Amino acid sequence: MSAWSNIEVELAVADYFTMLAKELSGQTYTKAQHRRNLLPLLNNRTDGSIEFKHQNISAVLINLGQPYIKGYLPRFNYQKILEDKVIDYLIGNQSIEEQFKHFAEGEIEQPFTEKDFNRLIVEPPTGIHVVEELTAAYNRSPIKTNYLEKEQRNRILGMLGEEHVLEYEKWQLTVSGKENLADQVRWISREEGDGAGFDILSRNLNGSDKYIEVKTTKLGKETPFFFSRNELLFSVDKAGDYHLYRLFNFSTNAKMFVKNGGLDKICTSVPLTFKGYF
């Protein structure tokens, strides 16, 4: 099949942002209907090729630090032309940043529909996608704020996510016949602040310490998360008993996967800031 032309890419990008705007504002839409409407405007493309392109756009937005459509899982093997067209769209439609800002900072009135702990845990993402950080080519993008990182720093979102995990840990220990250990679970980040390097002190079934770091997002499980140097060092020091609890889809139907080990081993990380000395 021939390469996508500039016009085709622009049409796919515009259609994606139409859906994204609806999703961020809570409107319902049908991805299949959008694809059907887009097909006649393209050069003999298939449903699958359009979906793949939209998944590529999700990856571009993640690399730009912006929200994306949860239903289009990111595929990072995209071409430079797609990256350029996404940035062109953002430059020409700067009002969308208000929606990104509301996504990251807005109040969360109903974070999940039901606390069904039996169905909470899912498998972690398969494979590791290396997400390259922004390069000089992105400097012309009008959106300088990383709203993915800003969402993670949303105090209410973080608190609700940690509370969810706290309740899950107590439930898990209780159903395992360890009620005495369930009573020992502590919410460290609330009791002592954020400097401990982890959020919740739970117990393994043998009674040993279990250190839990909670990272919460309203987006999908492939969404990158952000951690501090202190969190990294603590996870390496306590790797055997350190657990990352990644909550996702938190505003609709919360799910979670768990990774055990130091953050240097369980994910691919890239440096975001540096400290300079003279």
Instruction: DSSP for 162-206, please give it.
Output: HHHHHHHHHHHHHHTT-HHHHTT-EEHHHHH-GGGS-SEEEE-TT
Q: What is the pLDDT of residue 138?
A: 44
Q: What is the pLDDT of residue 50?
A: 97
Counting Cα atoms < 13 Å in the Cβ hemisphere of 184 gives 15
Q: What is the pLDDT of residue 127?
A: 64
Cα–Cα distance for residue pair 204/210, rounded to 1 Å: 6
Q: What is the pLDDT of residue 68?
A: 98
Q: What is the pLDDT of residue 132?
A: 46
pLDDT below 70 — which residues of the chain?
Answer: 1, 109-114, 127-139
| DSSP β-bridge partners for residue 256 | 121, 247
Q: What is the pLDDT of residue 136?
A: 47
Q: What is the pLDDT of residue 110?
A: 56
Q: What is the pTM of this model?
A: 0.90
